[in-house]
Structure 1
Amino acid sequence: MTSTDSSDASTDDRSTLRANCADCFALCCTAFGFQRSADFPINKPAGTPCLNLADDFSCSIHHSLRARGFRGCTVFDCFGAGQYVSQKLFGGTSWRERPDTSAEMFSTFAVVRQLHEMLWYLAEAAERATASELSGPVAQFRREILRALDGDASEILATDVERIRLEVRQTLIDVSEEARGGYAAGAEADLSDDLHPSADLVGRDLRSIRLCGADLRGAYLIAADLRRGDLAGVDLLGADLRDARLEGADLSGALFLTQLQVDAAQGDDTTVLPAALSRPRHWLA
């Protein structure tokens, strides 16, 4: 993410919130750890390089991660935090060149990723709240986060991320309620009682259920069947879409959908995505 004037948070430049691995010191492959599971075939402690990390910070098995059991790597999104920390905050000097900076760099990356993720959601909230009283709080939070990112690593580490996250979350909920109001007003009776925040919908066949306007924030939609479904006005903030069937589904009007959620799901060339997101390579294989 390039430095942005914190006095102007109205510009939605999501390109700065997308990962650019070429300008990153493989922070996602070093800072975070993982345990052997369905998503990873090995254990890796936090703060250590992945065994597949090449000398130029690229992944030596990038094109076969899924086949080799590193599915978790394919559904991770740093929201552009990697290049921001590597290039802006640490001036393009890697943790290999300066091992003494590694701990601070990795910790800063974890914080910046959270801040960038919130900026991604707030960018969408700003689009949806242009004619609403909520546009003020949305713009305020965007300015606050951008000001925090303008600091150096130590200042960013001192940011009260949890407080900002809680307040941003409530604002996103308010934006969602307003955006979904038009759907629920005339069809509330058609919405299943099972469709609610944090709902357990693992493996459920939802093709016969009206979804438009549903609040599925934080819902477990693992392997759920949403094929050919219309998800207009559906709040998917934090929903778990691993292996969800999205073939032929229309998600163009879904709320707070991210690339990592799409990457974790199953879809095809008939799945309709929001303009800000791209079709995963494995959908077309």
Structure 2
Amino acid sequence: MPSPFPSRRLPVLSQKPSSAALRADCSRCFALCCVALPFAASADFAVDKPAGRPCHHLLGDFSCGIHARLREEGFAGCAVFDCFGAGQQVAQTTFGGRDWRRFPELARPMFAVFPVMRHLHELLWYLTEAAALPRARPVHGALRRRRDAVEQLTRADAETLSAVDVAALRDEVNPLLLRASELARAAAPGRRQNLRGADLAGADLRGADLRGASLRGALLVAADLSGADLRLADLTGADLRGADLCGADLGDALFLTRSQLASAVGDTSTRLPAHLERPPHWRPRR
């Protein structure tokens, strides 16, 4: 497939994609995450489920029969999943509000498009975040052009979307995101640690000074980060499942997602970026 970023200058959108467009709205979706995606029995999912088969907890109105107790029922993976608004984009824009139950002939293409759209919306979210970093100003123009190209691609038809090479697209975008991260993290004092992809599962990082650290893709499952200073740390793709963030300072952490926070443990003393809400399952300050 040709690059979705042609050499000609693309029209610039009047404003960045709204936060609502990049946030899941299940009321405007057809439970695509509960059908299109596979489950593997594990600590995150209580059962195996192949892609394309509805979860047995899915109700006739596309709602979840155990939504209020997903963690208790062994579906923590569902509780933390975030489609970045891809579900409603596929349901309402790509397929014009037609659902896979009333129009079963749409099921296969709809389920094929959803994972692609999810990747596109995730990239759109990262590009939007990067373009808002004041210290990344030298690459703001390039970031916005890339963001506009991805946004245009999300409006394509199902056939075009199904053919998107997501890996190639990420390879095109990542250098810009890395440069934006480097520019933003340069404001952190002292030596900035490079822990990209590090295996820190279960590590004792209590009170650690991780200001400006690169933690991209780091494995931090069950790590103790209580009281750690993570200001300006790049957390792109870091696995925070079960990580203890109680009292940690993530006030201006870079590329921190709702899903990462939902998979971690924190309390009311955990400092978060202003645009992110404290997950409801977090406990009071200990």
Fold in common (TM above 0.5): yes
Pick aligned residue for 1:181 from 171, 181, 186: 186
Where does residue 244 of structure 1 map in the other structure?
Answer: 243
2:274 match: secondary structure: coil
Contact 2:185 2:232 (8 Å CA) reproduced: yes
What is the CA–CA distance in structure 2 between the aligned matches of 1:278 and 1:224, rounded to whole Å? 22
Equivalent position amino acid for 1:150 in 2? R
Pick aligned residue for 1:113 from 93, 108, 118: 118
Contact 1:227 1:246 (8 Å CA) reproduced: yes
Where does residue 228 of structure 1 map in the other structure?
Answer: 227
The equivalences for 1:123-272 within 5 A come to 123-129=128-134, 132-183=137-188, 186-188=189-191, 195-272=194-271
Instruction: Kindly indicate whether residue 23 of structure 2 is the aligned counterpart of residue 18 of structure 1.
Output: yes
Structure 2 residue runs without a partner (length 5+): 1-9
Contact 1:9 1:142 (8 Å CA) reproduced: no
What is the CA–CA distance in structure 2 between the aligned matches of 1:74 and 1:132, rounded to whole Å? 36
1:219 match: secondary structure: coil
CA-CA distance at 1:246 after TM superposition: 0.6
CA-CA distance at 1:236 after TM superposition: 0.4
- Classify 1:103/1:214 alpha carbon distance in 2 versus 1 (closer, same or farther; 3 Å): same
Pick aligned residue for 1:46 from 51, 60, 64: 51
Alpha-carbon deviations, 1:133-167, whole Å to 9, x = none?
21121011111111112221112223332222112
Contact 1:201 1:219 (8 Å CA) reproduced: yes
Equivalent position amino acid for 1:230 in 2? D
What is the CA–CA distance in structure 2 between the aligned matches of 1:107 and 1:268, rounded to whole Å? 38
What is the CA–CA distance in structure 2 between the aligned matches of 1:199 and 1:10, rounded to whole Å? 37
Equivalent position amino acid for 1:255 in 2? L
What is the CA–CA distance in structure 1 between the aligned matches of 2:274 and 2:190, rounded to whole Å? 27
CA-CA distance at 1:196 after TM superposition: 1.2
Alpha-carbon deviations, 1:261-284, whole Å to 9, x = none?
000000112212112222112114
Where does residue 90 of structure 1 map in the other structure?
Answer: 95
What is the CA–CA distance in structure 2 between the aligned matches of 1:64 and 1:6, rounded to whole Å? 45
Structure 1 runs of 4+ aligned residues shifted over 3 Å read: none
Number of residues paired by the alignment?
275
CA-CA distance at 1:131 after TM superposition: 6.1
Instruction: Kindly indicate whether residue 83 of structure 2 is the aligned counterpart of residue 72 of structure 1.
Output: no
Alpha-carbon deviations, 1:175-198, whole Å to 9, x = none?
111111121xx511xx56xx5100
What is the CA–CA distance in structure 1 between the aligned matches of 2:66 and 2:30, rounded to whole Å? 17
- Classify 1:216/1:249 alpha carbon distance in 2 versus 1 (closer, same or farther; 3 Å): same
Contact 2:100 2:106 (8 Å CA) reproduced: yes
What is the CA–CA distance in structure 2 between the aligned matches of 1:229 and 1:9, rounded to whole Å? 39
Alpha-carbon deviations, 1:214-272, whole Å to 9, x = none?
11110011111111222111010000000010111121210111111000000112212
Instruction: Kindly indicate whether residue 35 of structure 2 is the aligned counterpart of residue 30 of structure 1.
Output: yes
Contact 1:247 1:266 (8 Å CA) reproduced: yes
What is the CA–CA distance in structure 1 between the aligned matches of 2:215 and 2:178, rounded to whole Å? 11
Equivalent position amino acid for 1:71 in 2? A
Worse-superposed segment, 22-31 or 205-214: 205-214
The equivalences for 1:53-64 within 5 A come to 53-64=58-69
Where does residue 5 of structure 2 map in the other structure?
Answer: none
What value does the CA root-mean-square deviation take over the aligned residues?
1.7
Worse-superposed segment, 267-276 or 94-103: 267-276
Alpha-carbon deviations, 1:29-64, whole Å to 9, x = none?
000011111111111010000000000000000001
Where does residue 280 of structure 2 map in the other structure?
Answer: 281
Alpha-carbon deviations, 1:89-117, whole Å to 9, x = none?
11111101111111100111111110100
Contact 1:129 1:175 (8 Å CA) reproduced: no
Structure 1 residue runs without a partner (length 5+): none
Sequence identity percentage? 49
Contact 1:54 1:60 (8 Å CA) reproduced: yes
